[in-house]
Amino acid sequence: MPPAKSSYVCLPCRASYKLASYHQPAQGSVGHGRRCPRCARELVHVGAAFAPPPRRDTNAWRALSVVLNAEIRFHMGCCDGPGWRPRTLREVKERAAYARRTGEPLRQALLRRDL
């Protein structure tokens, strides 16, 4: 049985990589983080259920950056995957405005499917 793989992204390069879970960090990398092969910055672990947007879709990558900076990841759920995540900048802005208006933490507002 092949080893489980998980996704890692480099936000500046707008690149996604699937790496085996037993993958050891490359020589010279800082800490336990993996490095981007394009720019050598540390990759962000996003989880096994991540589906990357196209590289040319800058708005989707900006939305993803907000989601990842709110420490939301895409780990597998029991039966239905990671749940809903905002995929467009418009969805992120709507949820950020909702969070400001209601006082709800941004992290929780970003996970709401409906407002």
- pLDDT tens by residue, 7-65: 999 999 999 999 886 545 444 333 247 899 999 999 999 988 899 999 999 999 999 99
Domain presence at residue 9? yes
Task: Determine, yes or no, domain membership for 55.
Answer: yes
Sequence-ordered alpha helix ranges (H) in 1-115: 58-69, 89-102, 106-110
Torsional sign, CA 23, 40, 85, 99? positive
Q: Is the pLDDT of residue 103 over 50?
A: yes
At residue 46, the 3 state secondary structure works out as: strand
Asked whether residue 98 is assigned to any structural domain, the reply reads yes
| Domain enclosing residue 24, as ranges | 5-110
**Who wins on pLDDT, 91 or 25?**
91
Q: Please count the structural domains in the chain.
A: 1
Two tokens at 46? 């996003």
Structure tokens at 109: 């507002």
The alpha carbon of 46 is separated from its chain's Cα centroid by a whole number of angstroms, namely 4
For residue 115, tell me if it sits in a domain.
no
